[in-house]
């Protein structure tokens, strides 16, 4: 395939914790969705009317979402799409929807797809409609588990005990990403962060600290995708999707008792790189799904930058800043950007587009030509994350 | 006063919960491939068979990963008074993995490799959940 579909427009709204008492913007998911779509269409030089008979890909959101949500979004926007895609992949939403949209465009079904994530987890305005997993409701919460926080703690504990990884290794990821966030006008969290601050931060579930984990923000993000024919005339430099891979319910080793330190990104990134005809060494940056620092460390191993278990030592000796050998999460990632609910994966996607267009200003990776965006979503029982995906993006 | 969250018992899971209330461990086992299956399913996730029976596995296993819960996040405030407590991912000797709190040890002392035995703890409304104790 290599590069017959491109991202030709993107939109990212400012983020908010919806603290009206601090003068923050308070908006609903519908408003964020509309705002992001409008920004992305404008960049692409397109109007709402151009989307008639095209594709609309919508994430499920923390709030609100009805059972039949994508059609509600289409009505809200006044779109008359031929194709509606709906993502229920959690942190993997953006990557998965972009892959599904690319496949639809390649098949000739549509010429354009707008993929949008708008979410307002900080302002639920009424009962949250989404439910957790049956196994969480029945076999985790009554057993005393704290969902994501417990599972992240368990994965990091396993990595430390199996391979000698240290908390400082996780800390370096948080600190590097904060340095990036401080250079990103869109990032929500910009307070300086040192490794000492990290070490002092509150432990939620050993070894997971507050600064290892994300916090929710409200926000909206969108991209416009088109086939090569339409993309070549776009006002902005097209960023091509040159490879992709995904896997669901991946288990390393025995599926009953898998190795939780290996994620499905191992398979997704391998397939994506193969499709793009690249090796991991050809990547100019990584935008890695980072609901917690441990996920970043595991993915660095899974993508092949070092052997499984060497991630801690790799992180220690490697400059992961935008100037470094392996730039990681150059916009600050979710850890410092904040997690806009189920739209989170779009944060990594828009940063990759920005880097490849050369628009990342004071955090620009020099001469960035190819980068990887990963997505991880859904807490699996007895494993790590259920949905894994990877995109290779590039400019020609 | 807040209470611990209770499971939503379904026809699928009722045999497990009925046995748990008697402090007995009953887990599905596949009639075709013979593997124990946790949590309850409609078919065997290993071979696809719907020939499932309820069987009694050994109650022993080994901690695969451990953490200490120090804050209540996304769960009932009823857990607050029990903090800090250890939670482990346990690989049972009969080949299935299950989560649970570890009691009877200092939370910080629970580490991967520790041998544990599963027992039950009543959490109210006639419901009991598995917990582990160093074996």
Contact at CB, B65 and A155, closer than 8 angstroms: yes
Work out the burial of residue A1: count CB atoms within 10 Å of its CB; fewer than 13 is exposed, 13-18 middle, 19 or more buried.
middle
Are both A191 and A96 inside the same structural domain? Answer: no
Considering only residues A63 and A156, tell me which one the structure prediction assigns the higher pLDDT.
A156
Are both B66 and B126 inside the same structural domain? Answer: yes
Contact at CB, B71 and A205, closer than 8 angstroms: yes
Q: Would you say residue B2 lies in a domain?
A: no
Q: Which residues of B touch A147 (CB under 8 A)?
A: 73-75
Contact at CB, B108 and A206, closer than 8 angstroms: yes
What is the percentage of chain A residues whose pLDDT exceeds 90?
94
Are both A114 and A17 inside the same structural domain? Answer: yes
Contact at CB, A144 and B85, closer than 8 angstroms: yes
Contact at CB, A144 and B82, closer than 8 angstroms: yes
Q: Which residues of A touch B71 (CB under 8 A)?
A: 146, 149, 202, 204-205
Residue linked to tokens 């006639």:
B126
Nearest CA distance, B5 vs chain A (angstrom): 5
Q: Would you say residue A328 lies in a domain?
A: yes
Q: Would you say residue A139 lies in a domain?
A: no
B21 at A interface, C-beta within 8 A:
no
Q: Would you say residue A79 lies in a domain?
A: yes
Residue linked to tokens 């097209």:
A238
Work out the burial of residue A396: count CB atoms within 10 Å of its CB; fewer than 13 is exposed, 13-18 middle, 19 or more buried.
exposed
> What are the backbone angles phi and psi of residue A321, rounded to the nearest 5°?
-75, 170
Q: pLDDT at residue A10 above 70? A: yes
Q: pLDDT at residue A46 above 70? A: yes
CB A305 within 8 A of CB A296: no
Nearest CA distance, A2 vs chain B (angstrom): 35
Residue A301 structural domain: 146-213+241-394
pLDDT on residue B2: 66
Are both B35 and B14 inside the same structural domain? Answer: yes
Are both A107 and A173 inside the same structural domain? Answer: no
Q: Which long-range contacts (C-beta less than 8 Å, at least 24 apart) are formed by A353-357? A: A353/A7, A353/A10, A353/A223, A353/A239, A353/A393, A354/A10, A355/A284, A355/A285, A355/A330, A356/A237, A356/A239, A356/A393, A356/A394, A356/A395, A357/A236, A357/A237, A357/A239, A357/A395
Q: What is the chain A residue with the closest CA to B121?
A: A143
What is the percentage of chain A residues whose pLDDT exceeds 70?
98
Are both B66 and B121 inside the same structural domain? Answer: yes
What average pLDDT score do residues A322-337 get? 97
Contact at CB, A142 and B65, closer than 8 angstroms: no
Q: Would you say residue B110 lies in a domain?
A: yes
Are both B52 and B65 inside the same structural domain? Answer: no
Are both A153 and A83 inside the same structural domain? Answer: no
pLDDT on residue A129: 62
Q: pLDDT at residue B48 above 50? A: yes
B127 at A interface, C-beta within 8 A:
yes
Q: Would you say residue B51 lies in a domain?
A: yes
Q: Would you say residue A138 lies in a domain?
A: no
Q: Would you say residue B116 lies in a domain?
A: yes
pLDDT on residue A173: 98
Are both A222 and A344 inside the same structural domain? Answer: no
ipTM above 0.95, yes or no: yes
Are both A152 and A125 inside the same structural domain? Answer: no
What average pLDDT score do residues A367-392 get? 97
Closest by Cα among A94, A145, A118 to A341: A118
Q: Would you say residue B1 lies in a domain?
A: no
Q: What's chain A's average pLDDT? A: 96
pLDDT on residue A259: 98
* Final residue of a structural domain among B39, B57, B75: B57
CATH number assigned to the domain comprising residue B120 = 2.40.50
Contact at CB, A142 and B4, closer than 8 angstroms: yes
CB A143 within 8 A of CB B100: yes
User: Which of A320-357 are b and which e, b meaning 16 or more Cβ less than 10 Å from the residue's Cβ?
Assistant: bbbeeebbbbbbbbbbbbbbbbbbbbbbbbbbbbbbbb
Work out the burial of residue A286: count CB atoms within 10 Å of its CB; fewer than 13 is exposed, 13-18 middle, 19 or more buried.
buried
Closest by Cα among A186, A177, A184, A185 to A219: A186
Are both B38 and B93 inside the same structural domain? Answer: no
Are both A207 and A80 inside the same structural domain? Answer: no
For residue A240, give every residue at least 6 positions away whose Cβ sits within 8 Å of its Cβ, in sequence order, or none.
A3, A4, A5, A6, A228, A231, A393, A394, A395, A396
CATH number assigned to the domain comprising residue A117 = 3.40.47.10
Are both A121 and A223 inside the same structural domain? Answer: yes
Q: How confident is the model at residue A66 (pLDDT cuts 50, 70, 90)?
A: confident
Q: Would you say residue A158 lies in a domain?
A: yes
Reading phi first (left if > 0) and then psi (alpha if -120 to 50, else beta), residue B122 is in beta
Per-residue pLDDT of A116-134, as tens digits, reads: 999 999 987 776 666 889 9
Q: What is the chain A residue with the closest CA to B95?
A: A256
Per-residue pLDDT of A139-161, as tens digits, reads: 999 999 999 999 999 999 999 99
What is the percentage of chain B residues whose pLDDT exceeds 90?
97
Per-residue pLDDT of B50-98, as tens digits, reads: 999 999 999 999 999 999 999 999 999 999 999 999 999 999 999 999 9
Are both B101 and B39 inside the same structural domain? Answer: no
Nearest CA distance, A216 vs chain B (angstrom): 13
Nearest CA distance, A330 vs chain B (angstrom): 29
Are both B51 and B72 inside the same structural domain? Answer: no
| CA distance from start to end of chain B | 34
CA distance B135 to A371: 49
Number of domains in chain A: 2
Per-residue pLDDT of A244-259, as tens digits, reads: 999 999 999 999 999 9
pLDDT on residue A123: 86
Q: pLDDT at residue A80 above 80? A: yes
CA distance A280 to A265: 13
Are both A258 and A233 inside the same structural domain? Answer: no
* Final residue of a structural domain among A180, A202, A237: A237
Are both B85 and B32 inside the same structural domain? Answer: no
Are both A154 and A13 inside the same structural domain? Answer: no
pLDDT on residue A124: 75
Q: Would you say residue A39 lies in a domain?
A: yes
Q: Which residues of A touch B6 (CB under 8 A)?
A: 142
pLDDT on residue B80: 96
Q: Would you say residue A371 lies in a domain?
A: yes
Q: In what order do the strands lie in the sheet with B36-37?
A: B36-37, B27-30, B52-55
Number of domains in chain B: 2
Q: Would you say residue B92 lies in a domain?
A: yes
Residue B71 structural domain: 58-135
Are both B89 and B31 inside the same structural domain? Answer: no
Contact at CB, B65 and A257, closer than 8 angstroms: no
CA distance A394 to A358: 12
Q: Would you say residue B88 lies in a domain?
A: yes
CA distance A87 to A389: 13
Are both B64 and B113 inside the same structural domain? Answer: yes
Q: pLDDT at residue A360 above 80? A: yes
Q: What's chain B's average pLDDT? A: 97
Q: Would you say residue B130 lies in a domain?
A: yes
Are both B31 and B91 inside the same structural domain? Answer: no
Cis ω for the linkage preceding A207 (within 30 of 0): yes
Q: How confident is the model at residue B1 (pLDDT cuts 50, 70, 90)?
A: very low
CA distance A335 to A190: 11
Tell me the residues of chain B between 88 and 117 that have a Cβ less than 8 Å away from chain A.
Answer: 88-89, 91, 95-101, 108, 111-113
Contact at CB, B46 and A255, closer than 8 angstroms: yes
DSSP letter for A393, please.
E
Q: In what order do the strands lie in the sheet with A219-227?
A: A83-87, A55-59, A112-119, A219-227, A5-12, A239-248, A385-394, A370-379, A285-287
Are both A293 and A383 inside the same structural domain? Answer: yes
Are both A253 and A360 inside the same structural domain? Answer: yes
Are both B73 and B47 inside the same structural domain? Answer: no
């Amino acid at each position: 395939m290599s590069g017959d579909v491109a991202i030709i427009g993107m939109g990212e709204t400012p983020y908010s914790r919806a603290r009206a008492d601090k003068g923050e913007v308070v908006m609903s998911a519908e408003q964020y969705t509309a705002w992001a779509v409008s920004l992305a269409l404008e960049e692409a030089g397109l109007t709402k009317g151009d989307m008639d008979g095209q594709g609309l890909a919508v994430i499920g959101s923390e709030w609100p979402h009805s059972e039949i949500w994508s059609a509600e979004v289409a009505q809200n926007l006044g779109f008359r799409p031929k194709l509606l895609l709906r993502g229920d992949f959690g942190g993997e939403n953006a990557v998965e929807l972009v892959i599904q949209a690319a496949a639809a465009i390649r098949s000739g079904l549509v010429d354009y797809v707008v993929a949008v994530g708008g979410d307002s987890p900080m302002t639920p305005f009424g009962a949250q409609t989404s439910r957790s997993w049956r196994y969480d409701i029945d076999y985790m919460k009554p057993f005393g588990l704290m969902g994501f926080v417990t599972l992240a703690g368990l994965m990091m504990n396993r990595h430390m005990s199996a391979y000698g990884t240290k908390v400082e290794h996780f800390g370096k990821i948080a600190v590097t990403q904060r340095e990036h966030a401080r250079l990103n006008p869109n990032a929500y969290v910009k307070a300086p962060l040192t490794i000492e601050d990290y070490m002092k931060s509150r432990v939620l579930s050993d070894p997971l600290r507050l600064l290892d984990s994300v916090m929710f923000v409200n926000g909206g993000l969108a991209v416009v995708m088109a086939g090569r024919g339409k993309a070549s005339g776009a006002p902005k430099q097209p960023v091509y999707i040159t490879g992709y891979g995904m896997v669901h319910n991946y288990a390393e080793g025995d599926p009953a008792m898998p190795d939780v330190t290996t994620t499905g990104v191992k398979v997704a990134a391998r397939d994506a790189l193969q499709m793009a005809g690249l090796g991991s060494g050809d990547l100019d940056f990584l935008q890695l799904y980072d609901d917690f620092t441990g996920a970043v460390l595991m993915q660095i191993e899974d993508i092949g930058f070092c052997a499984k278990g060497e991630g801690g030592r790799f992180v220690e000796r490697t400059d992961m800043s935008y100037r470094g050998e392996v730039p990681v999460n150059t916009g600050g990632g979710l850890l410092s950007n904040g997690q806009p609910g189920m739209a989170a994966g779009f944060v990594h996607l828009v940063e990759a587009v920005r880097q490849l267009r050369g628009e990342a200003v004071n955090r620009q990776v020099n001469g960035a030509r190819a980068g990887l965006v990963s997505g991880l979503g859904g807490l699996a029982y007895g494993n790590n994350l259920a949905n894994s995906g990877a995109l290779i993006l590039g400019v020609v | 006063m807040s209470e611990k969250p209770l499971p939503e018992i379904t026809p699928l899971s009722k045999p497990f919960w009925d046995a748990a209330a008697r402090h007995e461990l009953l887990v599905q086992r596949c009639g075709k491939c013979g593997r124990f299956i946790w949590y309850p399913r409609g078919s065997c996730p290993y071979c696809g068979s719907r020939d499932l029976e309820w069987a009694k596995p050994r109650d022993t296993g080994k901690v695969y990963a451990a953490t200490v819960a120090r804050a209540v996040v996304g769960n009932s405030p009823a857990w607050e008074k029990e903090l800090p407590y250890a939670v482990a991912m346990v690989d049972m000797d009969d080949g299935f993995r299950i989560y649970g709190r570890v009691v009877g040890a200092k939370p910080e002392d629970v580490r991967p490799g520790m041998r544990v035995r599963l027992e039950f703890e009543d959490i109210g409304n006639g419901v009991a959940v598995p917990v582990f104790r160093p074996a």
